[in-house]
Amino acid sequence: MTRVLAGRGRAVAVMFRPAGFRGLLGRPMHTITERAVPAGDVLGPRAARLGAAMPVLTTPQAVAALTDLLERLVRDFTRVFGVPPARYARLTTPGTA
């Protein structure tokens, strides 16, 4: 997916290996592939609240909140797949995950 950004602002994007996010998503990947999807639709109400609050947070607060959300995602990934994402990436090769 390609998106041209202009002006000032911030963006967050995450890419996963093939099938790497399926266990966390709980539905077929094609429902979010090549689309901009609100974080709350994928990661739940906590992510939705974070997204809604981002414009009014100061940079340190936004970074701390986003870091917390990503750390929770790593913990969830580890719970679902049995290994942390970095180790999972080393154990799989593209197209075999």
Amino acid at 45: P
pLDDT single digits (tens) 9-28: 766 666 777 777 777 777 88
Q: Is 14 exposed, middle or buried (0-12, 13-18, 19+ CB in 10 A)?
A: exposed
Nearest residue to 41 via CA among 54, 26, 55:
26
- Please state, as a whole number, how many other Cβ atoms lie within 10 Å of the Cβ of residue 39: 19
The residue extents of the domains of the chain are 22-91
What's the average model confidence in pLDDT over 3-14? 73
What's the average model confidence in pLDDT over 53-71? 76
pLDDT for position 96: 46
Contact 29, 19 (CB under 8 A): yes
Residue 49 scores a pLDDT above 70: yes
Residue 93 scores a pLDDT above 60: no
pLDDT for position 14: 66
